[in-house]
C-alpha cells in the first residue's frame, strides 16, 4: 500500500504543531531543555536531515522506532543534538511538574485567556517552561 500523507484540508490534525510551536520548541532547546530521545516523542527536523518524507506537516516526525532514528543519526545523543523535541501537552505538563511549576500557576496563566485552542494551550505551557529555564540553571536536566 502506498503511504498516504496527512491532508490538512480534510484530516483532523493529530498534533497541534505549527510554525509557532516549532519556534517555541527550538527556543526551549536553545535555553537548555534537554531530552533523551525515546518512543513517543515528536521531533522536528529543522535541518532536513531525514531523507524519508514525514507523515506530518512541517517535517515533524514521531519516534515510533528508536533504532530507526539511531540508524539515521548514529546515537541517541546525536538525535537530541540534530532534532528539536516537540513536547506534547502531556510531556509539557510533566516537565512543568518536574520543574516545580504547579497546577495553580498553570491554571492562572491559562485562565488569563478565553477559549484557548489545544495548540494555544500547549504554547502557553512552552512559555511557562521557557520562563522557568531563563530563571534557572536547571535547564540541562533530562526528561
Q: Phi and psi for 119 in degrees, rounded to 5?
A: -65, -40
pLDDT in tens, 10-49: 887 777 899 999 999 999 999 999 999 999 999 999 999 9
Domain extent listing, the chain: 34-51+60-86, 88-133
When pLDDT is cut at 50, 70 and 90, the band that residue 66 belongs to is very high
pLDDT tens-digit profile of 75-96?
Answer: 999 999 999 999 999 999 999 9
pLDDT of residue 137: 59
Beta carbons within 8 Å of 60's beta carbon, 6+ residues apart: 15, 17, 22, 42, 43, 44, 45, 54, 86
Hey, how many other C-beta atoms are within 10 angstroms of the C-beta on 16?
17
Residue for grid cell 518512543: 39
**pTM of the predicted model, to two decimals?**
0.85
Amino acid at each position: 500500500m502506498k503511504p498516504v500523507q496527512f491532508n490538512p484540508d480534510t484530516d483532523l490534525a493529530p498534533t497541534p504543531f505549527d510554525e509557532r510551536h516549532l519556534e517555541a520548541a527550538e527556543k526551549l532547546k536553545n535555553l537548555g531543555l534537554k531530552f533523551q530521545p525515546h518512543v513517543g516523542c515528536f521531533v522536528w527536523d529543522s535541518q532536513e536531515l531525514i531523507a524519508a518524507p514525514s507523515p506530518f506537516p512541517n517535517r515533524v516526525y514521531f519516534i515510533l522506532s528508536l533504532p530507526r532514528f539511531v540508524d539515521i543519526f548514529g546515537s541517541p545523543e546525536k538525535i537530541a543534538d540534530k532534532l528539536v523535541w516537540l513536547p506534547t501537552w502531556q510531556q509539557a505538563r510533566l516537565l512543568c511538574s518536574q520543574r516545580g511549576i504547579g497546577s495553580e500557576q498553570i491554571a492562572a496563566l491559562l485562565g488569563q485567556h478565553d477559549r484557548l485552542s489545544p495548540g494555544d494551550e500547549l504554547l502557553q505551557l512552552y512559555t511557562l517552561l521557557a520562563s522557568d529555564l531563563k530563571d534557572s540553571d536547571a535547564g540541562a536536566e533530562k526528561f
